[in-house]
Amino acid sequence: MIEFKNVVKDYGNEVLGADHLTVKINQGEFVYVVGPSGAGKSTFIKLMYHEVGATSGEIRVNNYNVSSITNKEIPFLRRELGIVFQDFKLLPRLTIFENVAYALQVIEKKPEDVEKRVNEILAEVGLTEKAQSFPNEISGGEQQRVAIARAIANRPGILIADEPTGNLDPDTSEEIMRILEKINSDGTTVVMATHNSNMVNEHKHRVLEISAGKIIRDQEGGGYED
Ligand code: ADP
Ligand code: ADP
């Protein structure tokens, strides 16, 4: 569960990054966050995992009060969230297997459990054959599938994706959408910031439209024109 109450983020610019955001996202929802560049989509998303701190207001993510979280608690909050970015952010010197395993090793899982889970998750995103490849040896769509595998390896309840199809062609974007919807159908909340109106219009889900830091539309099954 994600809940924002009157959340403000003031970067000191003319326009607030978040202007009194109040919204609730229940477990298992699929939510698009849409709006033009500079509207505040990334800010909304970064507030959830405390990449940016709120100026005022209250943010709750599962049992965490994110707006008053301590530095010690931040890594624990982030274990409950998988995060995927437009530019994949894979580690270039590690293989695909190692990129996914790394996320599990840092949370002190036994090596045999790590190996089993990595193989399982790579199969789920269709990348078993690429396990020993390096990121620069696979396509953008495959790299994004690795990033998704890494994000959900630890079975977080929430998957956050900031423009996950931003660098991908339409067919590959479609493939990524199907994977995100599959993850969502298993009960994981998906929050996806996007400009990709084709995806929003073809795969209907709740739409939160942001403009100048404000939610100007909250519509179940809504569309979007970029
Ligand atoms: P979007 O993701 O929709 O493109 P952002 O959340 O990145 O929008 O930006 C919202 C507003 O906040 C913009 O005016 C942007 O310039 C500003 N902003 C974002 N991050 C920072 C920052 N670190 N410092 C100052 N201003 C920022
Ligand atoms: P995107 O819109 O591609 O998601 P981001 O919003 O993540 O890009 O911006 C990239 C980086 O630049 C972030 O660290 C963000 O905080 C920072 N940033 C964005 N807008 C501004 C701004 N107006 N002033 C200073 N930093 C900014």
Q: Is the ipTM reported for this complex over the cut 0.85? A: no
Task: Supply the pLDDT for residue 106.
Answer: 82
* Per-position pLDDT tens, the chain of length 226: 999 999 999 999 999 999 999 999 999 999 999 999 999 999 999 999 999 999 999 999 999 999 999 999 999 999 999 999 999 999 999 999 999 999 898 887 899 999 999 999 999 999 999 999 999 999 999 999 999 999 999 999 999 999 999 999 999 999 999 999 999 999 999 999 998 999 999 999 999 999 999 999 999 999 999 8
Q: Specify the pLDDT at position 9.
A: 98
pTM recorded for the entire structure: 0.91
Nearest to 143 by CA among 160, 168, 161, 180: 168
Among 11, 15, 86, say which to mutate for ligand 1: greatest number of ligand atoms within 8 Å of CB.
11
Amino acid identity of 82?
Answer: G
Nearest to 57 by CA among 123, 9, 103: 9
35 lines ligand 1 (CB under 6 A): yes
| Residue type at 11 in one-letter notation | Y
| Ligand 2 closest atom vs CA 43 | 6
Q: Is 63:97 a contact under the CB 8 Å cutoff?
A: no
150 CB-near residues (< 8 Å, 6+ apart): 82, 90, 99, 100, 102, 103
Instruction: Give the pLDDT confidence score for residue 226 in this predicted structure.
Output: 84
Q: Which ligand is nearest to the CA of 15?
A: 1
| Among 9, 37, 43, residue to substitute to test ligand 1 (most atoms within 8 Å of Cβ) | 43
> What distance in Å separates the CA atoms of residue 221 and residue 8, rounded to the nearest whole number?
27
Q: What separation in Å is there between the alpha carbon of 215 and the centre of ligand 2?
A: 19
Sheet of 158-162, strand order: 81-85, 158-162, 189-193, 30-34, 206-211, 214-219
Structure tokens of 57? Answer: 């207001």
> Which residues approach ligand 2 with their CB closer than 6 A?
42, 162
Q: Whose CA is nearest to atom 16 of ligand 1?
A: 38
Q: Which ligand 2 atom sits nearest the alpha carbon of residue 162?
A: 4
Pocket probe for ligand 2: among 34, 42, 51, the residue whose CB has the most ligand atoms within 8 Å is 42
pLDDT the model gives residue 25: 98
